[in-house]
Amino acid sequence: LKKCFDKGWVYKGRDVMPWCARCGTGISQHEIVTEGYQEVTHESVFVRFPLVGRDNEALLVWTTTPWTLSSNVAAAVGPELTYVKVQHEDGWTYYLAEEAAKQSLIGKWEVVDKMPGEALVGWEYVGPYDELPAVQKAFAEAGYTHRVIPWKEVGADEGTGIVHIAPGCGAEDFELSKENDLPVVAPLDENGIYIDGFEWLVGRSAHDVAHDVFEDLNKKGFYYRKQRYAHRYPHCWRCGNELVYRLVDEWFINMGELYDKPREEVTPEEKARSFRYQIMDAVDQANWYPSFGYDREMDWLRNMHDWMISKKRYYGLALPIYECRECGHFHVVGSRDELKERAVEGWEEFDGHTPHRPYVDAVKIACPNCGKPVERIKDVGNPWLDAGIVGISTMHYSTEPEYWRKWYPADWVSESFPGQFRNWFYSLLAQSTLMADGVGPFKNLFGYSTLYAEDGREMHKSWGNMIEFNEAAEIMGADTMRWLYASCKPEQNLRFGYHVGDETRRRFIIPLWNVYAFFVNYAQLDGWLPNGETAVSDNPAHAQLDKWIVERLNETTLAVREALNVFDSERATQHLEAFLDDLSNWYVRRSRRRFWKSEADADKAAAYATLYHVLVEFIKLLAPFIPFITEEMYQNLVRSVDENAPTSVHHHLYPQADPDALDRRLLDKMRLAITTASLGRAARSSADIKLRQPLAKARVNVGSQQEQDDLLELADVLTEEINVKEIEVVSEVGELVNYKLLPNNRVLGPKFGKLFPQVRKALMALDAAEAARKLQAGESLTLTVGDETVSLSGDDVLVQTESLGGTAVASDKGVTVAVDIELTPELIQEGYARDVVRMVNNLRKEAGLE
């Protein structure tokens, strides 16, 4: 604040601000925007403002806040709106907006004249509370009488199109008073009670005078009618009371001018004068996650008003502003030392206390201007001042600058972002800009959205959907909770609850535990212990499988590190979940027999060594996400057999892999096999044939020659996975499916109009398979229609596939699999035989036979 003061940026201003009468405090623009509006119904009122010098002629004015009428100063019209003069059966002649007449007037009336709003500007009228001393005093001082002013914002959708203006009771009204040089009549004290000068209203609360105001207006002949009116109205975010608008003295930091030109054209001199541009430089220095945070912060800096830093409270940061009552000069004290030096009384009372009320207020300093003793202003600081200085105050900025410099700025700051671009993030940036000479407060800013209950609503105890943390940790497990959080996109709201928890556990935690338990059970049965050696299977297919899962682990390690480097835990969890899927549903499933068999050969040793290695490295990767489960596994897998190993999984460095050493050929090949197998099974299931039933053949089409070779090499794996006798690779996808081209009528109709029937005809005449291939490759189709050549893209044409007779087809990622679904008697017999084997095995298991 002292630095701002030295730059001349601190000033005392008057402001009409939203105010909670119950809390006795102003509510900032930030706080209202964040969570302040509620739907409420008020009693609104239509009022006559009789025109001076015209018999029985009046403006008809409407307001939803009758308590503000005592402070009326002007009536605003839209200069370009059309107004009407209306002869009413009640004997009055009213002026109001033409469009508003029907909604405002009751009884019989007729329009006798029309005019633009401009024509009304300057008309003088009799105010509804001209008898009040406060009004007379303010008007006399300003040499003013009530009059009509122009205001572009006036519309005719609601009310009468003539707006009651009370600059002491409304923020926009206050702005208008500055533009039009209007007096300000401020009626309320800090508890929302009428102050002296308002006669019968004095001592009463603004919240409960509406009905008496109506009666009073009626008695005086101003009242026309009332109307219940539902609208969104600001409320106190702390206590829920309706806010009023109140004129107050507040302290501000000048944010500087917003120049009407692109930021890069702002000169150094202009920037030196404008705090907001200096803060923008600090915004540039950080990485923002999610990236839209950068734009939101910049948007706020472009649009924010001066920063109001004072708060009318007792507790809080005592603002070190000393304002002299004698000469009006104010001074900002920058440190305890400066306060001691300037103190003329009360230092002993304060000494030994923190700089808070009441002790700090005992100290008076000599006015640097006139020398009179001056006390501190009563205001405390906006809490965001406190919050934003954290990286400076807690890091010994004043006492140990070397230490502070070593740690500043923070590597990472994280907070739920709703509201914070205007509050905490902003305050951190502003104060760092000042204190650290333009160095931003953080290198990385990670924001995340809001947490809701799984029914999509906020959590409330009274709604029965609130879950207390300890209860959730107990029931769903802290690791499940962590995985749930880590796997949520930070920009999306997180839905939290036991169903989501169960789903998370089923999706990841249980399959992980199953792989671990599988390994541990068989290792115990076989008495297998890790000896640090890697065995290689003598079965080439198995050796390849072992190599592949290690490569997949390395690939995952690289991907997870890359995601975590940019704080993207959600992407990291996706890679980790995909790896677990491959480990569980491919590697372990395809290796099961290697663990089951009785002979302890090299193949089995290789399977153990590989799975052990992969599990241990995998839990190291997972440790920051699910620290408890991984620690449990680590203790059992590693510590129980190696007492020299680090005591905890969390004592290991995070796994690393060499991107250049990655066997991408092998990874691509196995990925293709996994995709093909899963498509083959999907095709079978689309034809409702269970996997146990052997089928004759699966035919596969893939893109490149390399992929065709890979498939043939892995044919044994695929025949097993899809349960077919034979895999055939075909080079033309047309051999597997029939393509049908359909014009996308909704696009093509408007595009070609009369030509459309001919375009459709030409499209139908194309070789469908060839056209489909082109479209899937992102190419366009060229048609000749009469003398014209037209071009169609993927959006213009719908491609339908249908399987050929006797096959079931599935297709994805450039792979198409067609499974022969014709069942011969031999295949059916074989299916029965498999069923029998399966049943016998189940019975043996139930009987406890080995």
Smallest distance from the beta carbon of 15 to Zn ion, in angstroms?
18
Smallest distance from the beta carbon of 192 to Zn ion, in angstroms?
10
Smallest distance from the beta carbon of 331 to Zn ion, in angstroms?
9
Smallest distance from the beta carbon of 228 to Zn ion, in angstroms?
25
Smallest distance from the beta carbon of 461 to Zn ion, in angstroms?
21
- Residues 27, 237: contact at Cβ < 8 Å? yes
Which residue from 194, 180, 181 is spatially nearest to 133, judged by alpha carbons?
Answer: 194
Smallest distance from the beta carbon of 202 to Zn ion, in angstroms?
23
Smallest distance from the beta carbon of 249 to Zn ion, in angstroms?
17
Distance in angstroms (rounded) separating the CA atoms of residues 304 and 277: 12
Pairing of strands 737-743, 147-150: unpaired
Give the pair of three-digit tokens for residue 178: 């500055």
Distance in angstroms (rounded) separating the CA atoms of residues 37 and 44: 18
The residue type of 748 is L
Smallest distance from the beta carbon of 32 to Zn ion, in angstroms?
12
Identity of the residue, 19 or 174, whose beta carbon is nearer to Zn ion in the bound complex: 19
Pairing of strands 10-20, 244-253: antiparallel
Smallest distance from the beta carbon of 328 to Zn ion, in angstroms?
7
Q: In which region does residue 567 sit, left (phi positive, over 0), alpha (psi from -120 to 50) or beta (all else)?
A: left
Smallest distance from the beta carbon of 323 to Zn ion, in angstroms?
9
Please, which residues have CB within 8 angstroms of residue 131's CB and are 6 or more apart in sequence? 199
Q: Where are the alpha helices (DSSP H) in 478-568?
A: 478-486, 498-504, 510-526, 540-565
Which residue from 585, 561, 296, 553 is spatially nearest to 419, judged by alpha carbons?
Answer: 296
Which residue from 43, 426, 463 is spatially nearest to 226, judged by alpha carbons?
Answer: 43
Identity of the residue, 326 or 471, whose beta carbon is nearer to Zn ion in the bound complex: 326
- Residues 759, 743: contact at Cβ < 8 Å? yes
**Helix (H) or strand (E) run with residue 391 in it:** helix 390-393
Distance in angstroms (rounded) separating the CA atoms of residues 552 and 670: 10
Smallest distance from the beta carbon of 176 to Zn ion, in angstroms?
27
Identity of the residue, 235 or 482, whose beta carbon is nearer to Zn ion in the bound complex: 235
Give the pair of three-digit tokens for residue 128: 């509804």
**In Å, what is the CA distance from 637 to each residue of 519, 564, 606, 618?**
10, 26, 17, 12
Identity of the residue, 236 or 619, whose beta carbon is nearer to Zn ion in the bound complex: 236
Identity of the residue, 105 or 236, whose beta carbon is nearer to Zn ion in the bound complex: 236
Contacting positions for Zn ion (CB under 5 A): 20, 22-23, 236, 238-239, 241, 324, 326-327, 329, 367, 369-370
Smallest distance from the beta carbon of 159 to Zn ion, in angstroms?
28
Q: Cis omega (within 30 of 0) on the bond before 401? A: no
**In Å, what is the CA distance from 52 to each residue of 224, 225, 718?**
18, 22, 97
Identity of the residue, 369 or 685, whose beta carbon is nearer to Zn ion in the bound complex: 369
Smallest distance from the beta carbon of 411 to Zn ion, in angstroms?
38
Q: Strands, DSSP E only, in 202-300?
A: 223-234, 244-253, 287-289
Q: In which region does residue 127 sit, left (phi positive, over 0), alpha (psi from -120 to 50) or beta (all else)?
A: beta
Distance in angstroms (rounded) separating the CA atoms of residues 688 and 821: 10
Distance in angstroms (rounded) separating the CA atoms of residues 246 and 15: 8
Identity of the residue, 242 or 297, whose beta carbon is nearer to Zn ion in the bound complex: 242
Identity of the residue, 229 or 237, whose beta carbon is nearer to Zn ion in the bound complex: 237
Smallest distance from the beta carbon of 237 to Zn ion, in angstroms?
8
Identity of the residue, 326 or 668, whose beta carbon is nearer to Zn ion in the bound complex: 326
Please state the separation of Cα 46 from the chain's center in Å: 42
**Helix (H) or strand (E) run with residue 150 in it:** strand 147-150
Identity of the residue, 23 or 638, whose beta carbon is nearer to Zn ion in the bound complex: 23
Smallest distance from the beta carbon of 345 to Zn ion, in angstroms?
16
Identity of the residue, 232 or 238, whose beta carbon is nearer to Zn ion in the bound complex: 238
Distance in angstroms (rounded) separating the CA atoms of residues 81 and 96: 10
Identity of the residue, 189 or 570, whose beta carbon is nearer to Zn ion in the bound complex: 189
Identity of the residue, 327 or 827, whose beta carbon is nearer to Zn ion in the bound complex: 327
Estimate the share of the chain in helix, then strand, then coil, as percent rounded to the nearest 5: 45, 20, 35
- Residue 373 sits at the vertex; the CA angle it makes with 372 and 375, to the nearest 5 degrees, is 135
Which residue from 720, 669, 676, 666 is spatially nearest to 701, judged by alpha carbons?
Answer: 676
Give the pair of three-digit tokens for residue 103: 């909604």
Identity of the residue, 238 or 261, whose beta carbon is nearer to Zn ion in the bound complex: 238
Q: Strands, DSSP E only, in 705-780?
A: 724-729, 737-743
Distance in angstroms (rounded) separating the CA atoms of residues 688 and 677: 16
Identity of the residue, 366 or 451, whose beta carbon is nearer to Zn ion in the bound complex: 366
